[in-house]
A and B are shown apart, each in its own frame.
Chain A
């Protein structure tokens, strides 16, 4: 399969994932480019499930990005930026709720609801058991429910 076609077929799908994770457009666009740069570097690989493969690469890219940024900024500043974003950017409660989730819970919700993957696919991407996907999703929804009902963290 040629890489241009893959890009055309999947960039929207991958962007949805990345954007939902970082919730910032400029950052998400940068990370989309990085994701496809990585994919191009590995273009000869025999890939069976492009959707899962691309999400896996995108996920690594997002985590790399978070790690590098965390290393660069002092923790104080990082927290301040996070708080600032929280105040200004978000309009909808549900988005706020998702932003407040821990990365582990956030990503299962995004993979399930935004990318509409089933438990088996999510488990494969995250390298965890299906049962863990189930319990994380349950916890994520519970936290979202509490958040929306006003008992925010």
Chain B
């Protein structure tokens, strides 16, 4: 068995994905070939190193936002603070006019919830929608 064939097996050997017969082949070859033994050593150390890469945890703020709004109907409200303050101003100005509409929204609330998502990176396409006195941006989801 030559080094080229063995080299392809070494990676699967490290992963414990080889049949018994191939395990024996690799081990026999490694015992005789220093070059392939080095490859095994470095693949193993790469594997350990990759596993020990420190990965940060998502921030509490983000987790809370997802947990607090896990609902069916999905919208996201962009630029939360700005929109919210605009709504308050609009609401105050127009509240006499909007009274009927507000009532309807209040009835619907228990059934429909919203995911409020602040975007930190400006990559997604956003569609604006009006629903009651909320300006909503609908989620433009990808494929799956």
Contacts and interface: CB of A to CB of B under 8 A. Distances in A.
Main secondary structure of the interface of B (DSSP, over half): loop
Interface string A9-32: 001100110011000011111101
B57 interface: yes
Interface string B44-71: 0011011101011111001101110011
Q: Which has the most chain A C-beta neighbours within 10 Å: B15, B74, B119, B120?
A: B15
B11 A137 contact: yes
Interface in B109-135: 115, 117, 119-121, 123-125
A100 to B, nearest CB: 13
B117 A37 contact: yes
A20 B120 contact: no
Interface residues of B, number: 45
B141 interface: yes
A109 B50 CA distance: 8
A16 B7 contact: no
Interface of B: 7-8, 10-12, 14-15, 17, 39, 42-43, 46-47, 49-51, 53, 55-59, 62-63, 65-67, 70-72, 74, 76, 115, 117, 119-121, 123-125, 139, 141-144
Main secondary structure of the interface of A (DSSP, over half): helix
B26 to A, nearest CB: 12
Q: Which has the most chain B C-beta neighbours within 10 Å: A27, A114, A116, A134?
A: A134
A40 B58 contact: no
Contact of B55 (A3, A19, A137): A19
B73 to A, nearest CB: 9
A131 B61 CA distance: 42
B112 to A, nearest CB: 13
A68 B125 CA distance: 9
A56 B74 contact: no
Nearest to A92: B53
A75 interface: no
Contacts of A138: 7-8, 10-12
B18 to A, nearest CB: 9
Contacts of B115: 37, 40
A145 interface: yes
A68 B124 contact: yes
A113 to B, nearest CB: 4
